[in-house]
């Protein structure tokens, strides 16, 4: 494909693509921004929040065959700082033109990475902020770290219509010092990102900086353990997976790897080989949004809640991963291509890591009568990415197991958010993790959108609870209990919370396909550690992140319903996303269903979480239930040890 050269001195040749879901290339991102700049006559003060592939209709993807023609459209979100307005555009890369252009009134796109540095510079240079620093004995504003926190929506008239952040500040003692050890308590700069103007400085009074540092880097650690011996992971014949562009096959799994600046890692068209075909399980799976509500009501700490996908773009903040550090073994990396605020392509090298891991015993049995033992070792495919959002790191690890199980594991680490307290004060809404240093109590809520496709696009959802049979004629000895499946027929019926005391899980079953036993083939969503929010139902964060009030939501497939908080959660007053999608109580029986699963992690900080938190874990599983006629891993070959095979 070639872009028109009219009005340009260069010629851009776009690379060919092999599949409709291939992410935009660097050349396509450049071409898309160039087309819209030229044809819409955009000025120099526009920012490109998003330039991504406009994913084609599901039918197009599912019916695609190699060699079919592929139409390439880009979806773009643009913020014009001069007129303080947001626009959405669709650009045809084949026809070299803007197909649609729409003003989206009353919304704020997410905070963009280039705005971080500009905001920090504006705050550091502001005379009133410098005066507040001098009152606290700080003479060099360049040592102040400025973290732009989203302002949310609290109904303040003077904030309406402005693109605001609350700049929360921390003081370094040197260039490599951990500034989070010394929060600048009680001083917040409110910044308008459209103009990069410091609107006001909120000063709640003097609180001394905490006295001790919190440095954790190797250069600050005096002595390391000396009793760790080398641990080698080798695959002398290479890994067992195959990669063709974004397409991956491993054991009997098939999938495509994708990436967006808002969601980060996306897994497409997941299927498992069987019965002479690749049987679909998931069409699309990704983080939909997340929020971190804090529990301190004082000063402006009550405004601490960050929507790390919808307000910041967790994909844009993804790390470049390193062999031997983030990933071990025989690794395949996928780069991620995102756009800068000016519409240029930006590559995150090694954004996604893929490798195999040994995972202990897959199955085993020893027959004491025959003396025969059979054991197989389990192996899993790991597809992962890690993002840094300010002080926190979030790892998203998709695991694919040989027996058809899929697991999502979130790994939380990084630095707890801190506030200073006077000497001798014991904080009520947090934990003292160092002298005069408070780590606020908080929660992390993640919502994952799982576009299910269990052996086809027509599925139904059931809630399964284990029920104790009442004593009586059917249960004379009082020992009986059974699993009871209840259909969830509509969106409101399907808004559910976990119940570990009943062994609750949710079953997604095919409306048409049955196994050899005459049972509907199915997958079950199995909750892991979870919790509900403690914020009051009238709290702003509950209105804006309604998804976290339920662990399960189910909707019929709609290509426009991608995010649990709506397209523009930044400074949104609330009600968007899942509460809006489900208000009409649509049918979710025998149709193309989407599961939205919320994972909540509850964090009461410990001193052991300072100065950097050991990894914590949460997540969920998708496991086959009658999807196979029998154990699907009987054909996994025996492993070997130094005396021979692992069976006798």
User: Where in the sequence numbering do the catalytic residues fall?
Assistant: 308, 392
Question: What separation, in Å, do the N-terminal and C-terminal C-alpha atoms of the chain show?
Answer: 60
How far apart (Å, rounded) are the C-alpha atoms in residues 91 and 284?
23
3-class secondary structure, 190:
strand
Residue in this structure with the two tokens 């060099």, named with its chain if needed: 140
How many Cα neighbours within 13 Å face the side chain of 432?
Answer: 13
Instruction: Report how far residue 203's alpha carbon sits from residue 189's, in angstroms, rounded to the nearest whole number.
Output: 9
> Which H or E element spans position 338?
strand 332-339
What is the C-alpha separation between 557 and 312, in angstroms, rounded?
A: 26
> Is 49 in contact with 108 (CB distance < 8 Å)?
no
Closest C-alpha to 253, from 402, 451, 453, 62: 402
Q: Which residues pair with 553 in a beta bridge?
A: 596
Question: Given the DSSP bridges, would you call strands 305-306 and 332-339 parallel, antiparallel or unpaired?
Answer: unpaired
At CA 98, angle to CA 96 and CA 104, rounded to 5? Answer: 155
Which SS3 state, helix, strand or coil, does residue 540 take? Answer: helix
Measured CA to CA, the distance from residue 320 to residue 308 in angstroms comes to: 18
Those residues with Cβ within 8 angstroms of residue 249's Cβ, 6 or more apart along the chain or in another chain: 241, 242
Specify whether the CB–CB gap between 529 and 446 falls below 8 A.
Answer: no
Torsion of CA 26, 27, 32, 35, to 10 degrees: 150
Beta strands in 429-547 (DSSP E): 430-434, 437-440, 442-452, 459-468, 481-487, 505-514, 520-527
Please tell me the distance from the alpha carbon of residue 640 to that of residue 648, in angstroms, as a whole number: 11
Q: What are phi and psi of 201, to 5 degrees?
A: -115, 120
For residues 275 and 282, give the distance between their C-alpha atoms in angstroms, rounded to a whole number. 18
Please tell me whether residue 294 adopts helix, strand or coil conformation: strand
Specify the DSSP class assigned to residue 638.
Answer: P
Tokens 């599961």 map to which residue? 595
Whether 616 contacts 602, CB under 8 Å: no
Cis peptide before 611 (omega within 30 of 0): yes
Distance CA 84, CA 76 (A): 17
């Amino acid at each position: 494909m070639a872009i028109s050269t009219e009005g340009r001195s260069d010629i851009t040749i776009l690379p060919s693509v092999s599949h409709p879901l291939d992410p935009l290339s660097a050349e396509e991102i450049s071409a898309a921004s160039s087309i819209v700049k030229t044809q819409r006559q955009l000025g120099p003060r526009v920012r490109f929040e998003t330039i991504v592939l406009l994913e084609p209709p599901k039918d197009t993807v599912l019916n695609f065959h190699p060699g079919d023609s592929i139409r390439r459209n880009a979806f773009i979100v643009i913020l014009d700082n001069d007129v303080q307005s947001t626009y959405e555009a669709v650009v045809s890369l084949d026809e070299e033109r803007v197909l649609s252009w729409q003003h989206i009134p009353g919304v704020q796109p997410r905070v963009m990475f280039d705005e971080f540095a500009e905001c920090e510079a504006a705050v550091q240079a502001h005379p009133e902020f410098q005066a507040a620093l001098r009152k606290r004995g700080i003479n060099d504003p360049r040592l102040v770290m400025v973290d732009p926190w989203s302002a949310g929506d609290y109904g303040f008239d003077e904030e309406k219509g402005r693109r605001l952040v609350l700049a929360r500040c921390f003081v370094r003692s040197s260039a490599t010092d951990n500034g989070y050890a010394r929060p600048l308590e009680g001083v917040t700069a409110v910044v308008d990102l459209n103009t990069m103007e410091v609107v006001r400085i909120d000063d709640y009074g003097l609180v001394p900086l905490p006295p001790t540092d919190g440095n954790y880097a190797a250069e600050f650690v005096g002595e390391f353990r000396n009793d760790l011996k080398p641990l080698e992971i080798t695959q002398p014949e290479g890994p067992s997976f195959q990669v063709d562009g974004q397409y991956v096959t491993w054991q009997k799994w098939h999938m495509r790897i994708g990436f967006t600046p808002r969601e980060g890692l996306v897994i497409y068209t997941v299927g498992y080989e069987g019965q002479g075909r690749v049987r679909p399980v998931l069409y699309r799976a990704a983080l939909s949004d997340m929020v971190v509500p804090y529990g301190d009501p004082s000063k402006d700490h009550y405004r601490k809640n960050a929507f790390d996908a919808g307000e910041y773009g967790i994909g844009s903040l993804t790390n470049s991963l390193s062999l031997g550090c983030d990933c071990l073994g025989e690794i395949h990396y996928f780069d991620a291509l995102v756009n800068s605020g000016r519409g240029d392509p930006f590559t995150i090298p090694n954004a996604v890591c893929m490798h195999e891991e040994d995972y202990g015993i897959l199955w085993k049995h020893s027959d004491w009568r025959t003396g025969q033992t059979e054991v197989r070792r389990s192996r899993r495919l790991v597809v992962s990415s890690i993002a840094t959002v300010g002080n926190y790191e979030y790892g998203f690890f998709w695991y694919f197991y040989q027996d058809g199980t899929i697991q999502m594991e979130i790994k939380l680490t990084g630095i707890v958010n801190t506030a200073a307290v006077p000497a001798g004060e014991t904080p009520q809404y947090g934990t003292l993790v160092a002298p005069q240093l408070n780590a606020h109590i908080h929660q992390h809520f993640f919502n994952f959108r799982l576009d299910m496709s269990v052996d086809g696009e027509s599925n139904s959802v059931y809630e399964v609870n284990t029920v104790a049979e009442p004593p009586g004629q059917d249960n004379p000895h009082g020992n009986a209990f059974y699993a009871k499946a209840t259909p969830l027929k509509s969106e409101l019926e399907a808004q559910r919370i976990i119940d570990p005391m009943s062994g609750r899980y949710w079953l997604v079953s095919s409306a048409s396909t049955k196994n050899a036993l005459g049972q509907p083939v199915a997958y079950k969503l199995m909750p892991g550690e979870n919790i509900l929010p403690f914020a009051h139902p009238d709290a702003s964060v509950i209105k804006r992140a309604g998804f976290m009030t339920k662990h399960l939501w189910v909707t019929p497939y709609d290509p426009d319903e991608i995010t649990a908080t709506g397209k523009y959660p930044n400074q949104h007053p609330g009600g968007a996303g899942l509460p809006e999608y489900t208000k009409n109580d649509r049918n979710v029986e025998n149709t193309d269903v989407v599961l939205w699963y919320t994972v909540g992690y509850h964090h009461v900080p410990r001193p052991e979480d300072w100065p950097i938190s050991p990894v914590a874990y949460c997540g969920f599983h998708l496991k086959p239930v009658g999807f196979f006629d029998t154990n699907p891993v009987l054909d996994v070959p025996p492993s070997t040890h130094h005396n021979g095979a692992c069976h006798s």
